[in-house]
Chains A and B, each alone.
Chain A
Amino acid sequence: MLGPDTAAYLIVAAFLFTTGALGVLVRRSPLIVLLSLEIMLNGANLALIAFSRHFANGDGQIFALAVMAVAASEVVVGLGLIVAMARKRLDLDVDKLSSLRG
């Protein structure tokens, strides 16, 4: 295998994953939270594909493709929710969504 080892890819994947996680944890805009979730999924995808290459096993790639579809689905639903929120003239701020608590 040319280039760096699988481990290097994995470290990138881990970094992406945690970056995404951090985004979810610190950002208040639901749009950016959604984007952060995408980053997390992509980090996982990178890991899957790296392993797929490592084992020369196509299953990982298939998995990655499926994840893409799932990610897209989540985005669709998420964006739908955000749009619905916006239509109700709610602030696009997840911290404001705290009428349910306690």
Chain B
Amino acid sequence: MNAAAWTCLLLPLGSTVLITLLGGSISRRAAGWISTVSCAGAFAAAVVAFVVMLGRSPDDRSELSTAYTWLAAGNFKVGFSILTDPLSMFMMLVVTGVGSLIVAYSLGYMDGDDEERRYFAYMSLFVFSMLLLVQGGNLLFLLIGWGLVGLSSYLLIGFHHERPSAVAAAKKAFIMNAFGDATMALAFFLLIQKTGSLDFDVVFSRADGLSQTVLVLVALGLLGGAVAKSAQLPLQTWLPDAMEGPTPVSALIHAATMVTAGVYLIVRTNPLFELAPHVQELAAGLGTATLLMAGLIALVQTDIKRVIAYSTMSQIGYMFLGAGIGAYANAMFLLMVHAFFKALLFLGAGIVIHALGGEQDIRRMGGLRKLMPKTWLAMLIGGLALAGIPPLSGFFAKDSILAAALAGDTYDRVLFAVGIVGAFLTGLYTFRMLFVVFGGEQSAYVREHPPHAGHDRLVNWSMGLTVAVLAVLATFGGWIQFAGVWTPITDWLEPVAKPLIEATNSQEAVASIISVAVGALGIGVAWWIYSAHRMKAPRPWAVLEHKFYFDELYNGLFYWPAVALARILDWTVEGPIVNGSIVGVAGLTRRTGDWFRALQTGLVRVYAFALAAGLAVLVLVFIAVR
């Protein structure tokens, strides 16, 4: 099992190194193949490990494997180790599975790009980082993976580095994530001080003895990392901008895997969160607020990818809600199926964008259904899954979370209510996008730029086949678990994350009915507005268009103050004090020198006088002092 896990982890890294070292000596497509094969290999390895794990008893499924001591400073030691347990296994499968599909899709999507090699190197690096995140055998390696996915995300968002907006978006994403890294690191420092270790088992076992303050601070630090990575309130603003990256990147990183790492983190460190229940409630609250806010903003977005991005944000809000109320397995379940259908949506959108020569504005699209029927089908599946319409996958996962919320206390029920509103919004914005893009008459733009089918078989196959696979997964993936009937995921994750809360079957039913109903209502409203009447969208509220002014707020709160502070320091400290002191001392010295120089008049009488005066003083002092 360990060997397979290590193989899974290191294969993508190997591919990165290989592509980098080979550089220009291989063809661009070869780089793509290397990457794809390595990811597929990683998936295979993960499957092998999974099979091995299945063969063991549930108590014996956790195994820690340490390669070597990575950092040993003072009494603090951390090994380069991976933890293979049901949770990480679950994530490995999702990551490598979806990952290899998307990499394969990229073979087609990125075909012809100048810097394809760089792209695939980055993609492999990302897969490695993500695996490190989920496989990391201690908190530090979790953080390392955490940081490395942020790095790969930065690299890939900024892939089109000649576009200033892409560069800016990449920087923004990285810096906000760095903020999250920092809060996590602070939590870790606290843990090191209090427990002396960052190993999961040591930390968890010693956590009981920590004071509530410490626990709250630690949990807050972890939550900071989680919200930053998962683009939850209040650190959500980077995700829409991140759509500057190539679409497969959005699919892989900003939908399927990386952004859900926050959920993974909460689930992984649930013993800590459970000891700080208020923070966990906070996580649920933040998730809920995010899902509502993102749903609202998504309504007015005009960029196809941004719509999906906000929906991602919103869906992760559900996951946070689930993880926050302790329905870990449900959150993980949504995480998985979300990976399927959101990847599907992105890749479908990618096909549209690709076909339209890079156009992303839905207002310029329209009537594509006839031109791209297969894509329409795929997108429809994705959209229905997203809206939680049975029997597609989203239904099973999302509703189980809502049901769990319904099972909780008053606070949780408020969250449930908001979640229902969110479900309505989900249906609305998803189908707004679908109807605008695919429905109705062909827009002027589409007529001018008719979507062209590629002539390259590989391109078509790689994009078509992967989308097809994802469509299948999005359709049937949810059947793995049907709350109240069969719960393999909950059982699987039981040893790692035992749910705090479980809905009764009646609650499940109530939640399902309500959410499906409002979801359908949302779809209906969308149909009524955007398909049946092709209404011009009402002028949206400025507050939505400006995404609740979070960008402006953060610019005003952090960026500009930092810049201003730097300027002020430059003007008030660096210039006048640090440098000025030198100039001042130098000037003073020089003036003193000039003054002494002026004493040297060249007149011999003055010289003699100096001697005489010096003598008079010296004699006086000698006589006086003796």
Residues of chain A touching chain B, judged by Cβ–Cβ distance below 8 Å, are 21, 24-26, 28, 94-95, 97-102
Q: CA of A99 to CA of B608 in the docked complex: distance in angstroms?
A: 17
Contact partner, B605, options A25, A100, A101, A102, Cβ 8 Å? A25
Of chain A, the residue at the smallest CB distance from B605 is: A25
Q: Would you give the shortest CB distance from B622 to chain A, in whole angstroms?
A: 16
Q: Are B600 and A94 in contact (CB under 8 A)?
A: no
Q: CA of A97 to CA of B602 in the docked complex: distance in angstroms?
A: 7
Contact partners of A97 in chain B: CB under 8 A: 602-604
Q: CA of A35 to CA of B601 in the docked complex: distance in angstroms?
A: 24
Q: Are B604 and A94 in contact (CB under 8 A)?
A: yes
Given A21-B612, A25-B612, are A98 and B602 neighbors across the interface (CB < 8 Å)?
yes
Contact partners of B602 in chain A: CB under 8 A: 97-102
Q: Would you give the shortest CB distance from B439 to chain A, in whole angstroms?
A: 93
Q: Are A26 and B603 in contact (CB under 8 A)?
A: no
Q: Does B597 lie at the interface of the complex (its beta carbon under 8 Å from any beta carbon of A)? A: yes
* Interface class of chain B by DSSP: helix
Q: Are B603 and A24 in contact (CB under 8 A)?
A: no
Q: CA of A25 to CA of B601 in the docked complex: distance in angstroms?
A: 14
Q: Are B608 and A25 in contact (CB under 8 A)?
A: yes
Q: Would you give the shortest CB distance from A83 to chain B, in whole angstroms?
A: 18
Q: Does B609 lie at the interface of the complex (its beta carbon under 8 Å from any beta carbon of A)? A: yes
Contact partners of B603 in chain A: CB under 8 A: 94-95, 97-98, 101
Contact partners of B605 in chain A: CB under 8 A: 24-26, 28, 94-95
**B595-626 CB contacts (< 8 Å) to partner A:** 597-598, 600-605, 608-609, 612
Q: Would you give the shortest CB distance from B491 to chain A, in whole angstroms?
A: 96
Of chain B, the residue at the smallest CB distance from A36 is: B608
Contact partners of A25 in chain B: CB under 8 A: 605, 608-609, 612
A-B contact pairs, 28 of them (CB 8 A): A21-B608, A21-B612, A24-B605, A24-B608, A25-B605, A25-B608, A25-B609, A25-B612, A26-B605, A28-B605, A94-B603, A94-B604, A95-B603, A95-B605, A97-B602, A97-B603, A97-B604, A98-B601, A98-B602, A98-B603, A99-B602, A100-B602, A101-B600, A101-B601, A101-B602, A101-B603, A102-B597, A102-B598
Q: CA of A99 to CA of B601 in the docked complex: distance in angstroms?
A: 10
Q: CA of A21 to CA of B611 in the docked complex: distance in angstroms?
A: 10
Contact partners of A24 in chain B: CB under 8 A: 605, 608
Q: CA of A21 to CA of B610 in the docked complex: distance in angstroms?
A: 12
Q: CA of A94 to CA of B602 in the docked complex: distance in angstroms?
A: 10
Q: CA of A26 to CA of B604 in the docked complex: distance in angstroms?
A: 10
Q: Are A102 and B604 in contact (CB under 8 A)?
A: no
Q: Would you give the shortest CB distance from A18 to chain B, in whole angstroms?
A: 9
Q: Are B600 and A102 in contact (CB under 8 A)?
A: yes
Contact partners of B609 in chain A: CB under 8 A: 25
Contact partners of B600 in chain A: CB under 8 A: 101-102
Q: CA of A43 to CA of B598 in the docked complex: distance in angstroms?
A: 34
Of chain A, the residue at the smallest CB distance from B596 is: A102
Of chain B, the residue at the smallest CB distance from A94 is: B604
Q: CA of A95 to CA of B612 in the docked complex: distance in angstroms?
A: 18
Q: Would you give the shortest CB distance from B341 to chain A, in whole angstroms?
A: 88
Q: Would you give the shortest CB distance from B612 to chain A, in whole angstroms?
A: 6
Contact partners of B601 in chain A: CB under 8 A: 98, 101
Of chain B, the residue at the smallest CB distance from A100 is: B602
Q: CA of A99 to CA of B603 in the docked complex: distance in angstroms?
A: 9
**B328-356 CB contacts (< 8 Å) to partner A:** none
Q: Would you give the shortest CB distance from A74 to chain B, in whole angstroms?
A: 15
Q: CA of A94 to CA of B607 in the docked complex: distance in angstroms?
A: 12
Across the A-B interface, give the 5 residue pairs with the lowest CB-CB distance, nearest first. A101-B602, A98-B602, A94-B604, A24-B608, A102-B597
